[in-house]
Amino acid sequence: MRHIIAVLLENEAGALSRVAGLFSARGYNIESLTVAPTDDPTLSRMTLVTTGNDEIVEQIKKQLNKLIDTVKLLDLSEGPHIEREMMMVKVRAERDDREELKRLADIFRAKIIDVTDTSYVVELTGASKKLDAFIDAVPEGLIIEVVRSGPTGIARGEKGLSL
């Protein structure tokens, strides 16, 4: 099963490599990992997406918690939560395709943020599945480049993951 896990880490050099090293050393799956400092500059927040059966995910959470740099951890998948991922797609946009791609961007509520005679860069934010759907919808052969941030997430309701 897919799990999205949020981790508050000490914003120390090497904290990220401890997490990455843990996943590779123990052979856990890692689909994506994003990290950035928070409003508290001593803390980083990491969101990682992993898959595994219940035992493996339980062990992943225990191992993450065991890292000395880990301050707090929340498995967002355990409750209602919101996930967002940002994507930029560079597409070949010539002749009739220009209008088609513009319409597609509108349908997905995406923005075209760079335009040349032959290309667009489309920015799209949403759940990862929506991003997948957009890629599928772009006519074949037009995609030049895709860059995705990996999902981040936050729990619904007033409870927050903070100190």
Partner 1 sequence: MALTEAQPEEARVTTTQLSGAEIVIQALIDEGVEYVFGYPGGAVLHIYDALFKRGSLKHILVRHEQAAAHAADGYARATGKCGVCLVTSGPGATNAVTGIATAYMDSVPMVILTGQVPTPVIGSDAFQEVDTVGITRPCVKHNFLVKDVKDLAITIRKAFYIATTGRPGPVVVDIPKDVTDPGIKVPYSYPREIKMRSYSPVEKGHHGQIKRAVDLMLEAKRPVFYTGGGVVLGEGSAQLTELVRATGFPITSTLMGLGAYPMTDPQFLGMLGMHGTYEANMAMHETDVLIAVGARFDDRVTGKIEHFCPHARIVHVDVDPSSIAKNVKVDIPIVGQVASVLADMLRLYQERKPKSSEPPVADWWAKIDQWRGLDCLKYDGSGSAIKPQFAVETLYKVTNGELYLASDVGQHQMFAAQFYPFDKPRRWINSGGLGTMGYGLPAAIGAQLAYPDAQVACITGDASILMCIQELATCQQYQLPIKVLLLNNGYMGMVRQWQELFYESRYSHSYVDALPDFVKLSESFGHVGMRIERPADLEDAMREAFAMKDRFVFMDVIVDPTENVYPMIAAGKGHHEMHLSPSLTDRELA
Residue 42 binds partner 1, judged by CB under 8 A: yes
Q: What is the nearest approach in angstroms of partner 1 to the Cβ of residue 96?
A: 52
For partner 1, what does the binding mask look like between residues 60 and 79, x meaning CB under 8 A?
Answer: --xx-xx-xxxx--------
Map residue 96 onto helix, strand or coil.
helix
Residue 160 binds partner 1, judged by CB under 8 A: no
What's the residue count for the chain? 163
Which residues in the 6-35 window bind partner 1 by CB under 8 A? 9-14, 17-18, 21, 25
What is the layout of strands, in order, in the sheet containing 2-10?
A: 32-37, 43-51, 2-10, 70-75
CB-nearer residue toward partner 1: 39 or 163: 163
CB-nearer residue toward partner 1: 7 or 121: 7
CB-nearer residue toward partner 1: 9 or 93: 9
Going from the C-alpha of 69 to that of each of 4, 33, 52, 72, the distances in angstroms are: 19, 16, 24, 9
Cβ neighbours of residue 78 closer than 8 Å, sequence gap 6 or more: none
